Structure 1
Amino acid sequence: MNQALHMHMVPASDVAALRRFYVGRLGWSTWGPEMPGSLMVRAGTAVIVFLNRDYLAAESGIDLSATPRAINAIFVEEKADVDAQIAGALSAGATLTSPIRDRDGGLYSGYFADPEGNGWEIVWSPVMRPGADGGLDLKLP
């Protein structure tokens, strides 16, 4: 099963306001570890991740001036699925914006931009993976 997650880019100063709205007013629960300049919220199976725009643009390798407002993250079941999905995207006309790499925490991922300019990350992780309910579960070691 592949599970998509939407990551929105926001200025770091917006995170406190987003927390007040989603957690304080809507009652959504925070999801995952808290990091400076980021917010992860979940209501049922819906997960939204807000990340500092400069950080996400640097991670994705996409030029900040051309960076989309959001980057879609697709979590896959097997590590080899990262390579296969990115190879398929490239053959369909996508552009690789960062190399596929093993990252801290056991993450294995790569970023690409599709022909319409949308940003995508394909991710395999032993920590974050699809949940049986159709949402992403955070599996802490």
Structure 2
Amino acid sequence: MSKENAAMERRVSLITLGVADLERAAGFYEALGWQREPSPEGVIAFNLLGQTLGLFPLDKLAEDIGVPVEQLKPGGSTVTLAQNVRSVEAVAELLQAAEAAGGRVLKPAQDVFWGGHHGYFADPDGHFWEVAFNPFSPLGRDGAFQWGGGAS
């Protein structure tokens, strides 16, 4: 492989969350309006704009990676997922929807130091989600986000 072919393309194709209870986790995201895609048994997938969110049993994820399950830290991760929304008001609305679906609001909707508006929730397995309105990076017509507003 040549050096120019070895570069990693700038995209994330699949985000996989290790979950304790596959159906409970799927029900949470379905309550937020997402729709399951046909998937092999033991995996649940939701297509997003440009990528897919996958749900996979935590013990099976550890086995697939080849690490002890204790090495995976649901709810204690240093990773946060984020969804940018189209308005300040939509931040509180999505946080309320997440709470109604069984999530836990960690930080209510509020202005943030960088000039936007955001809040955080945890899904039933403790995965952290930020909900943000960023006036400096407006969403494209199709809902795509790109830092600095370069979305289509």
Alignment TM-score, normalising by the size of structure 1: 0.49
Greater relative CO (CA pairs within 8 A, separation 6+): 1
Q: Which has the higher strand share?
A: 1
| The structure with more radius of gyration | 2
